[in-house]
Amino acid sequence: MRALEAGFAAHIASGATTLATCWRIVRSDGLVLGFTDHDVALAFGDTQYLPAHGLDGGERTGKLGASVDTTEVAGVLHSDAISEEDILLGRFDGAEVETWRVNWRDVNQRVLLGRATIGEIVREDGVFRAELRSGQHAINQPKGRIYQALCDAELGDARCRVNLDDQDYRAEAAVVGVRDRFRIVIGGIEGFEPGWFAFGVAAWGSGRREGLRDRVVTHERLGGVDVLGFGSAVGEWVDAADQLVLTAGCDRRFATCRERFGNVANFRGFPHIPGTDFVLRYPREGAVMDGRTLVG
């Protein structure tokens, strides 16, 4: 049971309260925003909570056990705080949210109702509606390793250990043009082989996508120019001369780990052990069935 400070508890017990709800949002890029459903700005804990143009919290339920608590917050889109463009660009995806109940006459009387992360965001008719998921949501995420031939490490992480700061694996580049919603022409990577940045990451340093990171799906050289394909529609949000830093990609195959990165010792897959597909194969003339490893 949540314990309230004596003064706050007495205020609530009085029956005539001056309460407001405050939301503190911390985006993945580190930006902190504060909003309140009160009509005057409030400040506490190094954060200022601004009146948020019709921001309203939905009904909140509490559950016992490991069930995920969900609630929602809705409000009007306005460019100086939460813009439709920022939502479309994913700047609020996965943001951490603290919900406070505050006595607006004395903000020292307050209680933290809960911490959550922003899930699905719906936009319609100039209004946004954001789902808030409790910490138990992380329990639903897959954990552990999968028995498979492909590596399950992320290139450059603590398990992979490839140094992506090496100049062989990164490049500063710029947008030259836009082919379509998913493909853009890039300059500055002519010294790298086609495909070098496929499955890599683009970190944007300027333009409307500044501060965002996008996964590169394909890297082709067409007509003498480098064309990158993305899994999301980045072409709608970039312009010529936008700057980005590209890091090399990996398709997680054993051969790529060996030949491109020389990192076989840290390969995190199981390429030498037959999978179920091998067990189900029919014997064929000339097939090697002497027990040797499947990957040389």
Is residue 265 assigned to a domain?
no
Mean pLDDT computed over 16-22? 91
- Asked whether residue 120 falls in the same domain as residue 177, the answer is no
Q: Say if 186 falls within a structural domain.
A: yes
The answer on 98 and 52 residing in a single domain is: yes
On whether both 30 and 112 belong to a single domain, the answer is yes
pLDDT at 79: 47
User: What does pTM read for this prediction?
Assistant: 0.70
Query: If pLDDT is split at 50, 70 and 90, which confidence band does 92 have?
Result: confident
Tokens 């067990």 belong to residue: 279
Please give the tally of structural domains in the chain.
2
For residues 233-253, average pLDDT? 94
Average pLDDT of 149-168?
A: 93
Residue 176 sits in the same domain as residue 72: no
Tell me which residue range forms the domain holding 50. 6-140
Are 24 and 119 within one domain?
yes
* b/e 94-128 (16+ beta carbons within 10 angstroms → b): ebebbbbbbbbeebebbbebbebbbeebeeeeeeb
Phi then psi dihedrals of residue 4, to 5 deg: -100, 150
With H, G, I as helix, E, B as strand and everything else as coil, classify residue 209: coil
Helix/strand/coil percent split, the chain, to 5: 10, 35, 55
Average pLDDT, the chain: 84
Q: What would the two tokens of residue 50 be? A: 């601004």
pLDDT digits (tens, 9 = 90+) for 60-90: 455 444 444 556 665 555 546 677 788 888 8
Partners of 98 in the β-ladder: 24, 115
